[in-house]
Amino acid sequence: MVPARVRRRAPLTAAIVVGVLAVAGTYLWLRPASAPHDGFGGNHDRADCVQIEVSASTEKGDLLAELARQYNDAGRTFGGRCAGVAVHKKTSGAAMESLVTGWDPERDGGPAPQVWAPSSSLWLGLARERASTLDRPAPLAGEPGAEVASIAQSPLAIGMPRPMAEALGWPDKPLGWADVLRLAADPRGWGALGHPEWGRFTLGKDNPHLSTSGLAATVAAYYAASGKSSDLTDADLSRPQTRDFVRGVEASVVHYADDAVKFLANLAEADAQGRATSYVSAVAMQEQLVYLYDSGAPDGDPGRIGKGRRPSVPLVAVHPQDGTLMMDHPYAVLASATAEQQAAAADFLAFLREPAQQQRFADLGFRDYQGRAGPALSAAIGLPGAQPPLSLIDPPAPAVLSHMLTGWDELRKKARVLLVMDVSGSMAEPAGGGRTRLEAAKEAAIQGLARLHPDDEVSLWQFSTEDAGGPQPYAQIVPFAAMRENGERLTAAIKGLHPEGGTALYTTVRAAQRSMLEHYETDRINAIVVLTDGKNEYPRDNDLQALLRDVNADTLERSVRVFAIAFGDKSDLTTLSSIARASRAAAYDARNPSTINDVFISVLSNF
């Protein structure tokens, strides 16, 4: 049935927990290099067909690519013309930024699109607002506020391991953010419900600038802080009690991420190790992602549903009784589309809304474009047979939403980040575009650091196997200080790095972690970001297993996450993934050097 819109009279006082998303740790994220833009066949290969490019959010990008191939092979015409469709996937927030500021096909994973399919219409309003702020033309066709067609829907839910949800009373007891918040604030953690072996109650959160789940979580937090359930205003955002409330919420965050799909991939790995209930207690995510996880496809690949490893501990989707947001998956035609491309886009939209294609969306756990859930979805994710109507809250106006994100930047938990740069001799090798690897890494680091908050603290180390007269193959170049004080020094120091020697990876990571633990700050996100283009080449310290024991977050009272960037085709991604996994952090794949700027932004979105 179509979910009814229930207007809640009571304030959303407990919805904050969707913004209190403290996670036990992230195990692994391999960011793929941009895939070759081919394989769409049929009309896509015909010069006489109108060609359109679709940029889709990551959770449905593979499915839309599959449906585009079917469309291209169907011999379909509109007005006597044929159309060819290609699809690439990109997170909604990153796509918005590129559409507003200028699309780069190499950086952004495909040609500039004529259709944008983010996860939520929230991004459409933000795109117009962002363009207006930058005095740029809006990337969207049509007038502001005009209705945009949906191709599928999925509500924001609390994804929980089934035993944990049952311990809270699910499915017999309706649950809301208040139930989750009470347990999250209890120092006994799960011990309060008879399960001390599960530890503290932990949640997961995405960066609202990049992720729809994170954006929706932030909206709910501000509504809760204001004591309202709709019609949020700028005055509400600026009230001291609102700001103090949101600041307290963000203080619980361990680190941020840029895509909810990452949590599922990491949770699947933890489940395979028999540690699902120790990794995370709950994550704010789309209902559809719970379905994918339970179906053996945590990365969103439709080809893995029913074929991949199903989790030993499945997730259930808890729909909070005190309010949630519907992700409407809009199909937005962009202003850059010609009249012919607009007509082609309309025909592809009509194709996507046909029953056969809507069934494919249902196969991936989406509700249809009218918000109706099928029986397979309900059965797979543990929905009780008789579901009450979803209590949907209205999103704020675009200008208020934009100001909310600005406020989040100020109120979020600040970071203490040690940036460790490989300056071994191989960094002098070419990276394309007339630059060496080190030059490309320098540019990416400088641009990435500029996105941090002025109150974030950053230090810079370099390493190779040359000691430059010192006792170790690593050296501190710039000590810790807030970016407002350290920004220019960091930029100058990064520009001055030069390549020499080999790669003393293990001893450097160990020393960096030891240094961070000695100066750990509990009110900040404490992390290391290490970039390297090679593998360990330091015979004095060549014991990977010893390093993994040293950084193992499970054996430490408090740990520092090691976010690793594998840069260039000779980088040791497997080893870097092991190090990141042991520290409950993430490894990022920049083996295609052209992706390094984008990867640096993704890494720094954790802070």
Domains, the chain, in order of start with CATH, read: 15-30+161-297+314-320+391-407 (no CATH), 42-153+328-380 (3.40.190.10), 414-604 (3.40.50.410)
In this predicted structure, the answer to whether residue 420 has a pLDDT above a threshold of 90 is: yes
Higher pLDDT, 493 or 598: 493
**pLDDT at res. 371:** 92
In this predicted structure, the answer to whether residue 193 has a pLDDT above a threshold of 60 is: yes
Q: Report which DSSP code applies to 50.
A: E
Q: Please, how many CA atoms are within 13 Å of residue 287, restricted to the half-sphere of its CB?
A: 34
**Mean pLDDT value of segment 112-139:** 94
pLDDT digits (tens, 9 = 90+) for 364-411: 999 999 999 888 888 877 665 555 578 788 889 999 999 999 999 999
In this predicted structure, the answer to whether residue 258 has a pLDDT above a threshold of 80 is: no
**Mean pLDDT value of segment 584-605:** 89
8 in Cβ contact with 322 (< 8 Å): yes
Give ∠ CA 411-159-14 in degrees, rounded to 5. 50
pLDDT band for position 6 (50/70/90)? very low
Q: What is the 3-state secondary structure (H, E, C) of 277-331?
A: HHHCCEEEEEHHHHHHHHCCCCCCCHHHCCCCCCCCCCEEEECCCCCECEECCEC
pLDDT band for position 27 (50/70/90)? very low
Tokens at residue 381, please? 């994710």
Report if pTM > 0.75.
Answer: yes
pLDDT digits (tens, 9 = 90+) for 63-77: 999 999 999 999 899
Helices (H), 28-172: 58-73, 92-101, 105-108, 122-133, 162-167
Compute the distance between CA of residue 189 and CA of residue 454 in angstroms, rounded to an integer. 34
**pLDDT at res. 20:** 36
The enclosing H or E element of 213 equals: helix 212-226
What's the chain's length in residues? 607
pLDDT digits (tens, 9 = 90+) for 548-567: 999 988 777 787 999 999 99
Distances (CA, A) of 251 to 197, 412, 418: 25, 7, 20
Q: By C-alpha distance, which of 357, 361, 297, 341 is closest to 112?
A: 341
The enclosing H or E element of 599 equals: helix 596-604
Beta-sheet pairing, 315-318 with 154-161: antiparallel
Those residues with Cβ within 8 angstroms of residue 460's Cβ, 6 or more apart along the chain or in another chain: 418, 419, 421, 476, 477, 478, 490, 493, 494
Could you identify the residue written with the tokens 């840069």? Answer: 567
Using CB atoms within 10 Å of the CB of residue 558, give its burial: 0 to 12 exposed, 13 to 18 middle, 19+ buried. exposed
Of the chain, the percentage scoring pLDDT greater than 90 comes to 54
Of the chain, the percentage scoring pLDDT greater than 70 comes to 91
- Radius of gyration over every alpha carbon of the chain, rounded to an integer in angstroms: 24
The total of other beta-carbon atoms located within 10 Å of residue 603's CB is 27
461 in Cβ contact with 421 (< 8 Å): yes
pLDDT digits (tens, 9 = 90+) for 309-353: 999 999 999 887 777 889 999 999 999 999 999 999 999 999 999
Q: By C-alpha distance, which of 531, 546, 523, 524 is closest to 499?
A: 531
**Mean pLDDT value of segment 564-573:** 93
The enclosing H or E element of 240 equals: helix 240-250
DSSP letters, 533-585, are SS----TTS--HHHHHHHH-GGGSSS--EEEEEEESTTS-HHHHHHHHHHTT-
Those residues with Cβ within 8 angstroms of residue 273's Cβ, 6 or more apart along the chain or in another chain: none
pLDDT band for position 572 (50/70/90)? very high
273 in Cβ contact with 195 (< 8 Å): no
467 in Cβ contact with 474 (< 8 Å): no
In this predicted structure, the answer to whether residue 304 has a pLDDT above a threshold of 80 is: yes
Give ∠ CA 570-573-579 in degrees, rounded to 5. 135
Those residues with Cβ within 8 angstroms of residue 146's Cβ, 6 or more apart along the chain or in another chain: none
Q: Report which DSSP code applies to 41.
A: -
573 in Cβ contact with 30 (< 8 Å): yes
pLDDT band for position 2 (50/70/90)? very low
Average per-residue pLDDT for the chain: 86
Q: Examine residue 139 and say whether the peptide bond preceding it is cis (omega within 30 degrees of 0).
A: no
The total of other beta-carbon atoms located within 10 Å of residue 159's CB is 30
DSSP reduced 3-state for 529:
strand
**pLDDT at res. 39:** 65
Compute the distance between CA of residue 266 and CA of residue 574 in angstroms, rounded to an integer. 15
- Looking at mean pLDDT, say which of 139-143, 174-178, 267-271, 511-515 comes out highest: 511-515
Burial 438-453 (b: 16+ CB within 10 A, else e): bbbbbbbbbebbeebe
Could you identify the residue written with the tokens 């419900």? Answer: 193
In this predicted structure, the answer to whether residue 422 has a pLDDT above a threshold of 50 is: yes
